[in-house]
Structure 1
Amino acid sequence: MKRRAFLAGIGVTVVAASCSSNSTPTASSKNIPDAISAILRKPRYAQAKWSLLVADVSTGETLYELDADRMALTGSTRKLFSVGTALNALGADHRVTTPVHRLGTVDAGVLNGNLVLVGNGDLTFGGRRIDANTVQYTDFDHNDANALGTAILTPQDPLYGVTELAKQVKASGINAVNGDVVIDDRLFTPYRVPNGNLLITPILLNENMVDVTVDPTQPGQPARLDYRPRTAALAVTGAITTGPADSTSSVALSDQGRIECVGSPGCGGSVSGDIPAGYKAPLTGSETFVGTFRIDDPASFARTAFIEALAAQGVTVTAPAVAKNPPPPATTSYSDDTRVASFESAPLRQDARLILKVSLNLGANLALSLFGLSKGRNTIQGALAAERQSLIDQYGVDGNQFSFPTNGSGTPDSQAAPRALVRLLTAMAKTPVAADFQSALPIMGVDGSLAHTGQTLAGKGHVFAKPGTTIMPGADGETLELEAQNLAGYIETKSGRTVAYAVMVNDAGPVLNIADDVGAVFEDEGEISSIIYETL
């Protein structure tokens, strides 16, 4: 329970392979307060490598510095780059439009041809939607449900987007589709990232997941199983027994929660195990177990859901609802005249808030891809190259002080120096999206992945920062090592100035108990942040 609680609080990623810094520290320091130095000298950090930089956002003046040019593993502080550059390139008000086009003529309400839904990279696509301008998140996000053993689901209908599109198709005068329904997912080339082995695609329905809930009943009786979204694409079944109140929960999802059969008739996932009567989730205290199945064929998943949404609105389709998504047509087939429906996302500032508050790996990589598209690049390699060039040319980040070889979310191989992070943050503070970017960050003691940190410190409510934590196996393959624990963002100081800062510790030693060992490091960085708040 302690391990999982801490994981939820800071977004820890445990990865399978080690990666070490390849640079030589500068051993430089400037003006470090004694109170911060005392923390860095704690016995637990005898072999650790600390680095720190604090700079005034308005003047660029360096205020505190310690080995600020040392390259270090970033963890999820990498997301500051991918989300920040996308937000600035596209604009905080940018919305993603998901259109539906008819390919063929409509005769007496019958479309003789295919109906095509074009995936354009809408992260939430109607899910989490509070209203047209706002999406909801929780401190225990469903994207982390399997890693944490719990989640709090947002209450919104994940099928809202396809339902709204189906209503518009019906209103356009189409009552039947004598053809097929196609999901066009060519916006960018789908790819996997090593951070969680996530599949990143242009079409996302419930972020390409099926949420599973299990509620206990009476000892010896079957537990109640439910899931969402309910579509013919995936049937979730299971036999979960309600155990005695003092028993241990053993609820498990088949295939390690990964579904590869979507698009084939009879595709299913199963849930098994026991759940105790009076079950309380380890983090939330919820009486409901929450887990997720990840979908490996998002286009076929969305296709089935859209066909069912059309049927619910009285639009029949001759093609079977459950089938592999057909190849999309030539892009020249689309025009304003063929558009029969469209769905608009909330503004991008809302996606930035969701991604940074809960450290959403899927969203950070999608943001990187959208940035790449703004530069004419439709592959992950192209997006990374365009981002790197922009960071150097537009933001003034030294290219020797960061390395992002594979992904936009951080672990396991992204590296940067504190000076690179602070340079980005300082440059972002001078952009039109500065206020949106800062407010999207977790606030210490208030919300997101910093909600439970520093609640008694003077800096509570004044520190806006992104944590980044990476734990890796030790050389023996059995023990765990704290390879990275970082915090970077903005502090509105006691004197009224705004500073950008990055505090990073790498190679911080073995982890015997995550809550005790890593939790203490995380609290120390919160205290360092609060000292900066009080002394500047």
Structure 2
Amino acid sequence: MTAPPTGPNPTGLLPDSYDGTQQVAVYVSPEYAQYARLIFKVSHNLGANVAVCLMAVTAGSHQCIDGFPVLNDFLKLAGIDPTQAQLLDGRGGNPVDRVTPRVIDQLLHYWQGTPDATRFRLAQPILGVDGLLADVCAGSATCPGKGKVWAKTGAVAGLDALNNRLAAGAMTIGGYLDAGHGCLHTFYLAVNGASAPSTDINGIIDIGNDLARIAGLLQEQAEARNGA
């Protein structure tokens, strides 16, 4: 192949016998719920950003920035004050991105009142089972909350060059706890301004795993209090 990857498409150079109607392959995208599941399970940040662009498409625009009014309208529909959040992307990694714990709790409650409640919950990583929470209990004899915590994690971390270590601007986890007898509790945990002892990324991962383990302990406590 010597043709440039971009540029004009000179169809007139095709053989005369080619009429352009022969289909050699077709790709059908999965429903968006499956793509959202991927975003949640492994924190597919590119997909999270693309989600805002897809919102723009629903408003008839090809400009990703036009997805934010759509998101603003959704928050209002869900009974959430959009001024309690700040966003300039879909993944939550921009310096302007902020959200209050109350907004997270309200979002989690909103989804539980929709027909997609179960699908939304199961799309989250499951403690000790899959996604980013699969290995939280690796090497542990016991795993509090295993299979009974559905939660999305979040991390903003970078190099602290002054002290030659990694710093976590924010480490978060939020979702649902199985409190027994069919009861679900929402929760949200966050750590701000933490740091790892070195530049080893495992130090940052340990902070996130600690939060997940706390979520597991909360699940056990909620279940015990509910007499399950």
Please, what TM-score do these two structures have when normalized by structure 1? 0.36
CA distance in 2, matches of 1:340, 1:370: 30
CA contact (8 A) 2:56 2:65 kept: no
CA distance in 2, matches of 1:436, 1:494: 19
Which letter maps to 1:464?
W
State whether structure 2 residue 47 is matched by structure 1 residue 352. no
Distance 1:519 1:475, change over 3 A: closer
CA contact (8 A) 2:166 2:200 kept: no
Give the structure with the larger strand fraction: 1
Q: Deviations over 1:231-255 (max 9, x none)?
A: x48xxxxxxxxxxxxxxxxxxxxxx
**Could you say which residue in structure 2 is the equivalent of 1:432?**
115
Task: Please report how far the alpha carbon of residue 450 of structure 1 lies from its aligned counterpart in structure 2 after TM superposition.
Answer: 0.9
CA distance in 2, matches of 1:486, 1:317: 57
Matches for 1:110-259 after TM superposition, within 5 Å: 232=1
Percent of aligned positions that are identical:
30
State the secondary structure of the residue aligned to 1:445.
Answer: coil
Task: Please report how far the alpha carbon of residue 410 of structure 1 lies from its aligned counterpart in structure 2 after TM superposition.
Answer: 1.6
CA contact (8 A) 1:494 1:534 kept: no
- Matched positions, count: 210
Distance 1:318 1:511, change over 3 A: farther
CA distance in 2, matches of 1:372, 1:488: 27
Distance 1:481 1:343, change over 3 A: closer
Alpha-carbon RMSD? 3.0
Matches for 1:17-36 after TM superposition, within 5 Å: none
CA contact (8 A) 1:493 1:533 kept: yes
**Could you say which residue in structure 1 is the equivalent of 2:4?**
264
Q: Deviations over 1:138-187 (max 9, x none)?
A: xxxxxxxxxxxxxxxxxxxxxxxxxxxxxxxxxxxxxxxxxxxxxxxxxx
CA distance in 2, matches of 1:394, 1:511: 44
**Which of 395, 401, 405 is residue 78 of structure 2 equivalent to?**
395
State whether structure 2 residue 52 is matched by structure 1 residue 375. no
**Could you say which residue in structure 1 is the equivalent of 2:156?**
470
CA distance in 2, matches of 1:317, 1:465: 55
**Which of 8, 13, 22 is residue 318 of structure 1 equivalent to?**
13
**Could you say which residue in structure 2 is the equivalent of 1:408?**
90
Which letter maps to 1:354?
L
**Could you say which residue in structure 1 is the equivalent of 2:189?**
503
Where relative contact order (Cα < 8 A, 6+ residues apart) is larger, the structure is: 1
Task: Please report how far the alpha carbon of residue 486 of structure 1 lies from its aligned counterpart in structure 2 after TM superposition.
Answer: 0.6
Distance 1:515 1:370, change over 3 A: closer
CA distance in 2, matches of 1:376, 1:487: 34
Task: Please report how far the alpha carbon of residue 454 of structure 1 lies from its aligned counterpart in structure 2 after TM superposition.
Answer: 3.1
Task: Please report how far the alpha carbon of residue 340 of structure 1 lies from its aligned counterpart in structure 2 after TM superposition.
Answer: 8.7
CA contact (8 A) 1:481 1:511 kept: no
State whether structure 2 residue 100 is matched by structure 1 residue 417. yes
CA contact (8 A) 1:401 1:417 kept: yes
CA contact (8 A) 1:471 1:484 kept: yes
State the secondary structure of the residue aligned to 2:194.
Answer: coil
**Could you say which residue in structure 2 is the equivalent of 1:485?**
171
CA distance in 2, matches of 1:513, 1:377: 42
CA contact (8 A) 2:195 2:204 kept: no
CA distance in 2, matches of 1:351, 1:340: 30
CA distance in 2, matches of 1:493, 1:514: 36
CA distance in 1, matches of 2:37, 2:173: 17
Give the structure with the larger helix fraction: 2
CA distance in 1, matches of 2:57, 2:101: 28
CA distance in 1, matches of 2:198, 2:35: 36
Which letter maps to 1:527?
R
Task: Please report how far the alpha carbon of residue 503 of structure 1 lies from its aligned counterpart in structure 2 after TM superposition.
Answer: 0.7
Moved over 4 A (4+): 339-343
CA distance in 2, matches of 1:461, 1:481: 30
Task: Please report how far the alpha carbon of residue 516 of structure 1 lies from its aligned counterpart in structure 2 after TM superposition.
Answer: 4.9
**Which of 198, 209, 212 is residue 512 of structure 1 equivalent to?**
198
State the secondary structure of the residue aligned to 1:493.
Answer: strand
Distance 1:411 1:477, change over 3 A: farther
CA distance in 2, matches of 1:412, 1:511: 25
Structure 1 residue runs of 5 or longer lacking an equivalent are: 1-231, 234-262, 266-299, 305-315, 320-338
Please, what TM-score do these two structures have when normalized by structure 2? 0.79
Q: Deviations over 1:66-108 (max 9, x none)?
A: xxxxxxxxxxxxxxxxxxxxxxxxxxxxxxxxxxxxxxxxxxx
**Could you say which residue in structure 1 is the equivalent of 2:226?**
none
Structure 2 residue runs of 5 or longer lacking an equivalent are: 15-20, 223-228
